Structure 1
Amino acid sequence: MTSSDRCRGLLRIVALGASLVAFGWAGAARAQRSAADIESARQLYNQGIDLRDHGDLKGALEKFRAAHALGNTPITGLDLCKTHAALGQPVEAREVCLGVARIPVGSAETSRSQQARVEAASVAESVRSRIAGVRLRIQGVPAGREPTVVVDRSLVPNAALGELRAVNPGMHEISARVGNGPETKASIEVREGESRDVELVVQAPLPEPATAVVAPNAQAQPLQPDAARPKKKKGNGLATAGWITGGIGVGIGAVTGLIALSARNNLDQRCTDKICGVSDHDDLREAKTWGTLSTVFFAIGGVGVGTAIIATLTHDSGSGTNAKQPARPTVTPVLGLGGAGVHGTF
C-alpha cells in the first residue's frame, strides 16, 4: 500500500466519524424537544403565517421567533429570516438564515425542509448588500482609561472600537463616556448599504469625591476660636465630697445617738437620784462613749453639709470664656481627735 492510499483511507475514517457525530447531534437535538414543544411550535408557526397574511409583520415576527425557539427547524428559521428582512432588519435576517444551515440534518428530513435550507442561504446572500455600517471614533479619552460606548442599548467592546460595526438601515442612538464623566450622545441615520464614520468627543471623568466617615445623625459644626468656644462644664468635686461626708456623718451620729439615749434610759431606771452602783459603771461608761461618738459624727456631718453648701454657691461651671476669673473662696474641713472644724479663705 502506497502512502497516498493510506492518506485516502485516513480521510474516509475522518469523514465517517464526522458523519456519526453529526447524526448524534441531530438525534440529541430531537430528543431534547418534547411532543409539547413540537405541537406548540406548530401552532405558533401557523399563527405567524396568519398574522403575516393580514399585514401584521411585527406580530408575525414574535410568533415565528417563539416557534423557531421551540422547533428549530429549517422551515421556522426561513420564515423568521424572511420576516426580519421584510421589516428592514437585514442584520438579524442574515444571522437567522445562516443559522438554518447550522441546523443538523435529520434522517427523516422532508423535501420541504431541504428546500427551506436552499432558500435560506439565498436570502442570506440577498440581504448582505442591505446591511449598513458605522465606524466609531472616540476622542478625548484620558491616558490609561477606557470609554464605555453603547449603540442602540448594546455595549460595544473596546477592542471593536474603530472597526466597522454592522447595523440596520435607519436611526441609531450612540453614547460614550469615561468613568463617571458626562455622557456624550449622537443620533445618526444610515441608508441601506451605507457606511458612516461617527466621532464622539468625551470629557474627562469628574474627580472622585473624598470619602468622609460621618457618625449617624452627626451635624457639622463651624470651628470656633478658642476665646469664643464654650468650655466644657466642670464638675464640683468639693460639693460632692461635702454632701457625701455630711450624709455619712449625720447618719452615723443619729444611730450612735439613739444607742446612747437607749443606754441612758436603762441606767435611769436602775440608778436612784443619778447614783449608780458599782455594777452599773461599765454601762455608764459605754453610754458616755456612744454619746461622744454621736456628737463627733454630728459635727463631721455638719461640717460636710456646710462645705457642700458653700462649694455649690461659689462653684464656677466653666461656661464662660477664657477671661481671668476672680479668686474664689475655699473651704477645707479639719478633723481631729475630739473635735472638728473648717478652714478656708473668703
Structure 2
Amino acid sequence: MSQLTQNFKWYEKFTAFIVSTSETAFDNLGYQVASKPWWTIGLCWLFVFSSALGFLKFHQEKNPFKLWVPSKSEFSINTQWLFNKFENAYRTEGFILVADDVLTPEVLLTVAEIDQKIKSVITSEGITFKEVCFKIPEIDIDINLLFKSRNSKNGNDSFFDPSVYFNSATYCKLVESFSQECLQRSILELWNFDIEKIKQLSKKEIINKLNSNKNDFLFGNFKNYTELLGNIETNEVGEIVSAKALHIFYMLHVNFSAIDIDTFGNTAGTADWASEDGLKWENEFLKLMESISKNLTSSKIYYESARSFGDISNGTMFQDIGILITGIFVMVLYVQLVISKFNWVEAREWMICL
C-alpha cells in the first residue's frame, strides 16, 4: 500500500488511508460476526433491551407552553405567574347567527330556542351547563336602581360604586350575599331570556329596546349590546335599524390549579386548560350545534367551542399518518421489486412484512 501511495499527493494519501482503514475494520468485524454468530445476536438484543429501558422514563409532553414557547421567554414567565396568582378564569363558547336581518321577531325567537337547547345540554355523566359555567354575582334590579339614584345630582343619574365607598369587609359581604348566575353575553339579556316575552315582540319593539337600553338587567352591568351585532345599518340619526349577524357567548369556569394538562391535553400539545367536566360538556355542545346548523334553513349559523382549536389542530397534524406509512411501504416495495437483482443477498422480500 505504501508503494502504491508513494507518489500520491497528501490529500490522496489521506483518502487512501481512510479507505484502507475502513476496509480492514469492516473485514475484521465481518469475520468476528461470522465466527461468533450467537454472541453477535446476544449483544444486539442486549443493546436493544438496554436502550428500551429509557421507556420507563418516557413522558409525553402535552403542555403547549413547554412544547411551543421557550421556558425562559417573557410570555411563558408572565403566563405562569397569572396561573399562580389568578387561579380562576373562563373559556368561551359561542355562535354567530347570520340572516338578512337578525333584529326581527322570527330570528330572535330562533336564537332564544337555540339558547334554551344549549342550556339544556346534559352529558352522559349528567353534567349540565349550570355546573360548568362561570358564575358571577347577580345584582337585583332594585338594588341596581338604588346604587344608580344615590349619587344623582341635578337630575343627572350617575352610578354609585359601592366598592369605592364601602370598606373591603362590608363590600365582600355585600357581594357574597348575592346569588350566582352564569355569565353570558347575549342580546337576549334585554328580555331576561324570557322566551314568552320574545314571542310577543315586534320589530319596532326590538329596535326601540336596543337603541334605548344599554343596561344588562340580569347582572346590573352596563353593556353595549351593539358589540354583539355585525354589519349594522343605521338611520339618519344614528339609530340601529337592522343587522345581519348576531354573536352569542357562553362562559365556562376554569380552575387552573385543579387541571392536569398531561391528563386532558392532546397529542399535538395544542389543547387549552380545561376541566374534565368542561371538556365533556363542550363535546356535547359541539354535537348540538352541528345538528342545529344542518337543520336551519332561513339563516346560517357558525359556532365554535374553546376546545375547537385543539381538536382541529390535533386532527390536522396527524391526519396524514396513514398516507405517510403507505408511502413508505410503497417506496420499500418499489426498491425491492424494481431496483433489486432478485437474489438472497440484494433482495429479501420477506423483510417488507417486518
State the TM-score, normalizing by the size of structure 1: 0.17
Higher strand share: 1
Question: Relative contact order, CA 8 A, sep 6+: which one is greater?
Answer: 2
Alignment TM-score, normalising by the size of structure 2: 0.17
Which of structures 1 and 2 has the bigger CA Rg?
1
